[in-house]
Amino acid sequence: MSIVVTGATGELGRLVVEQLLTSVPADRIAAVVRDKEKAASLAARGVELRIADYDRPETLAGAFHAGDRVLLISGSEVGRRVPQHTAVIDAARTAGVARLAYTGVLGGPDADFGLAAEHKVTERLILDSGLPYTFLRNGWYTENYTANLAPVLEHGAVVSNAGDGRVASAARADYAAAAAAVLTGEGHLNTAYELSGDTAWSFAEYAALLSGATGREIAYNNVPAAVHQEILVGAGLPEAFAAILVDVDEAIGRGRLAPTGGDLARLIGRPTTPLAETVTAALAAA
């Protein structure tokens, strides 16, 4: 039996593998990757590489073995996730894996924004497969914001159409630790976890935090959705992706990413990483 992480060279997947290596022998960890060269550092540490591609179902035939505990990290290509995830689920069922954990979105079937649609379909596919499952319904990564500090600092403004909505974000490493806890622990079968940070923050508070950390005046500009769409497209984002971000902000305004139920902190056995800590690290790296 191996613990198998799909998308293991991605931002979340690599952190999950790193977390697993702190408690599991490397020869019990398998990384499913498309590019062997990108995963060379994992192989050098003793992690087994299984080469497969979500878009090529035939390559997934050898990706899983009977008894494996598998983490399906959702695909990054919005609009293509359902066929990709279907291929992984079918391969996992055929192999007879012992557990399939899936990284979905906070709110699960109740999430009412466009980005959640493919996650909801995937959860239903997993339920219909009959596989033992764990749903890791991830809230927002704080890095979704801190990774894009350059334009915020350049223009002196955080721009959003979320109004006074709040975001209970956590660091990506927190979500990775939760996934590792589920993959290595017991008692998580056929369970859904709503994962989010301990504290929800507003964009006005985020702007104030940046102002204090940089010594510069950073404003919060709440704008209509159509205006935000124009700004994002003008900054070079594809229209479809800009529309997704604007829709998410609308959901934030409705409180959809604000719940702080505590599942994430309970799984990782510590408080989630505060917003200020991630901001400080991002500014130092910049």
Convert the pLDDT of each residue in 187-243 to its tens digit: 999 999 999 999 999 999 999 999 999 999 999 999 999 999 999 999 999 999 999
Spatial contact of 102 and 126, defined as CB atoms under 8 Å apart: yes
Domain 140-171+196-258+273-286 superfamily per CATH: UDP-galactose 4-epimerase, domain 1 (3.90.25.10)
- Please report, for the chain, the start and end positions of each structural domain, with discontinuous segments joined by +: 3-138, 140-171+196-258+273-286
Report the CATH architecture of 3-138: 3-Layer(aba) Sandwich (3.40)
Q: What whole-number distance in Å separates Cα of residue 39 and Cα of residue 36? A: 5
Q: Do domains 3-138 and 140-171+196-258+273-286 have the same CATH topology?
A: no
Question: What pLDDT does 1 receive?
Answer: 82
β-sheet bridge partners, residue 106 = none
Alpha-carbon span 71 to 16, nearest angstrom: 9
Kindly report, residue by residue over 89-114, the tens digit of the pLDDT: 999 999 999 999 999 999 999 999 99
pTM of the full predicted structure? Answer: 0.96
Q: What is the spatial distance between Cα 142 and Cα 274, in angstroms, rounded to a whole number? A: 9
Residue 54's alpha-carbon distances to 23, 59, 224, in angstroms, are 28, 8, 37
